[in-house]
Amino acid sequence: MNRLIQKEINRENLLNQGVMLLMQQGYHGTGLQEILDAVQIPKGSFYNYFGSKENFGAEVIEHYITPYIQQITNYLAQPDTDALSALQRYFNESIAELERTHFKGGCLLGNLIGEIGDSSDLCRVALQTTLNRYRDVLQSGLSKAQQQGTIRTDKSARDMADLLVNTWQGALLRMKVEQSTAPLQQCCQALLGDFFKA
Amino acid sequence: MNRLIQKEINRENLLNQGVMLLMQQGYHGTGLQEILDAVQIPKGSFYNYFGSKENFGAEVIEHYITPYIQQITNYLAQPDTDALSALQRYFNESIAELERTHFKGGCLLGNLIGEIGDSSDLCRVALQTTLNRYRDVLQSGLSKAQQQGTIRTDKSARDMADLLVNTWQGALLRMKVEQSTAPLQQCCQALLGDFFKA
DNA sequence: TTTAATGATACGACCGGTTGTCTTATTTTG
DNA sequence: CAAAATAAGACAACCGGTCGTATCATTAAA
């Protein structure tokens, strides 16, 4: 009994550490040993939890997005704030966090798409579905904002959410290279604060 | 004398092959041996041409952008087409090319920022200056379009060029994951065809 | 209830292969 | 011949993955 619980704990620890290291050092730039050392789990155990590094990568990708979706959902659920403000609050909070961590990492999804999007179909599909989940929650927020009259209705919430996701990803790359959150602020200002406005 | 020419040829070949392989397989995903095999240059010679893999990477980055800047400049220089049309033509041509190559690679700059933007300062700076060069040429095109009255003047060409670069980068990532050029088309339509319009 | 058997899981030494780099020998050039 | 450029191969470190064995909880038998 205790055995299964420990297994889940170990899996979770590996995934969390995997998110951190893969985000900062990339897929091929991070060895399994480095992840295993960090969570004090022997090499042999890894293959009991995950079938391969590629499988692990795909699980890390799906594991990564959960807290972000949770955060947006929470902001959107608050009754005293309108949807547009909730989205802006989420992005501002993200920007503040990235500034705190000195722009390290950026977005695991964007980083891995660029690195292994061509070579690992398994990870590519994981990235696709994960990014779509992220888009969906933004879309629901934009849709709510349309109903509240703060976002224009002549464009679909879906299209705007896609554009927002893409521009945000590009801005995150630019942030890493410029060591500044200015691109992120520009992204929010131009889209949420201007182009998407009702 | 013949010797120096051959050295330049070898360097050029290595850089060209480096662009291709680094773009598709990433920095850590591509070994020196693979590049050297492709251009039939012995491993020992590599360090005569480049001091290290990291140095090579930085040179590959700067080598990569040249043809793109050339292409945009050429389109912009054509007397019979206005600047906005020239930019649209460039992006449409890029989209067609990516479709031809089945979305493989995307943009070397975006891919490498995500992968090694955090870990190699040398490459980060190379990526920064290279991306700025790209932004600058787009900015000059937008500025010209402003003078021609096809692009709005209440936003600076600089800001719009930055936004365009970032959204384009994000759209390229999305393209890789979706295996579709739809995000690229959306990027051009939303910005050049709508948001930036006079 | 105690004991024996069983199968799932944990483990770390080990595999062949590859990495980026460097030293040394050879070849080419002036 | 001296000097510089090139190439060959060695090098240790590391990679992802495998394997036989050890460990443990659980079930079956006594």
- Does residue A6 reach within 7 angstroms of strand D, measured from its CB? no
* pLDDT number for residue A68: 98
* pLDDT number for residue A4: 63
Helix spans in B107-156 (H): 108-116, 121-147
Tell me the pLDDT band of B4, cut-offs 50, 70 and 90: low
Contact B85, B145 (CB under 8 A): no
Q: Give chain A positions within 8 Å (CB) of B114.
A: 26, 106, 110-115, 173, 176
Please give the residue of chain A at the shortest CA–CA distance from B22: A115
Q: Note the pLDDT tens digit of each residue in B6-50.
A: 677 888 888 999 999 999 999 999 988 899 888 888 888 888 888
DSSP state of A168: H
Tell me the C-alpha distance between B24 and B119, whole Å. Answer: 19
B180 touches chain A (CB under 8 A): no
- Sketch the domain layout of chain A as residue ranges: 56-195
**Chain A 26-65, residues with CB within 8 Å of chain B CB atoms:** 26-29
- What value of ipTM does the predicted structure carry? 0.91
Tell me the C-alpha distance between B125 and B103, whole Å. Answer: 27
CB contact under 8 A, B116 and A169: no
Q: Note the pLDDT tens digit of each residue in B124-173.
A: 999 999 999 999 999 999 999 999 999 999 999 999 999 999 999 999 99
CA of A183 to C1' of C22 (A): 42
* pLDDT number for residue A151: 98
H or E element that contains A88: helix A83-100
CB contact under 8 A, A190 and B186: no
Q: Note the pLDDT tens digit of each residue in B82-96.
A: 999 999 999 999 999
* pLDDT number for residue A75: 97
- Does residue A153 reach within 7 angstroms of strand D, measured from its CB? no
A168 touches chain B (CB under 8 A): yes
CATH number for domain B60-195, candidates 3.30.70.20, 1.10.357.10, 2.60.40.2470, 3.20.20.210: 1.10.357.10
**Does residue A179 come out as left (phi exceeding 0), alpha (psi in the -120 to 50 range) or beta?**
left
Tell me the C-alpha distance between A28 and B28, whole Å. Answer: 5
On the question of pLDDT at B1 being above 60, the answer is: no
* pLDDT number for residue A116: 94
Contact A110, A183 (CB under 8 A): no
CB contact under 8 A, A106 and B128: no
Nucleotide nearest to B42 (CA to C1'): D7
Give, for all 198 residues of chain A, the pLDDT tens digit.
566 677 778 888 889 999 999 999 999 999 888 898 888 888 888 888 888 899 999 999 999 999 999 999 999 999 999 999 999 999 999 999 999 999 999 999 999 999 999 999 999 999 999 999 999 999 999 999 999 999 999 999 999 999 999 999 999 999 999 999 999 999 999 999 999 998
B119 touches chain A (CB under 8 A): yes
- Does residue B43 reach within 7 angstroms of strand D, measured from its CB? yes
On the question of pLDDT at B3 being above 80, the answer is: no
A166/chain B closest Cα distance in angstroms: 4
Helix spans in chain B (H): 2-25, 32-39, 43-49, 53-77, 83-100, 108-116, 121-147, 157-178, 182-190
Burial degree of B3 (CB within 10 A; 0-12, 13-18, 19+): exposed
Q: Give chain A positions within 8 Å (CB) of B135.
A: none
CB contact under 8 A, A29 and B167: no
Domain A56-195: give its CATH superfamily.
Tetracycline Repressor, domain 2 (1.10.357.10)
- Cα separations (Å) of B44 from A17, A37, A64, B48, B98? 38, 34, 42, 8, 35
CA of A15 to C1' of C9 (A): 20
Please give the residue of chain B at the shortest CA–CA distance from A119: B25
- Is the C-alpha dihedral spanning B137, B26, A27, B28 positive or negative? negative
Nucleotide nearest to B28 (CA to C1'): C19
CB contact under 8 A, B162 and A174: yes
Strand C contact nucleotides, protein CB < 7 Å: 9-14, 18-23, 28-30
* pLDDT number for residue A180: 98
B135 touches chain A (CB under 8 A): no
- Does residue A30 reach within 7 angstroms of strand D, measured from its CB? yes
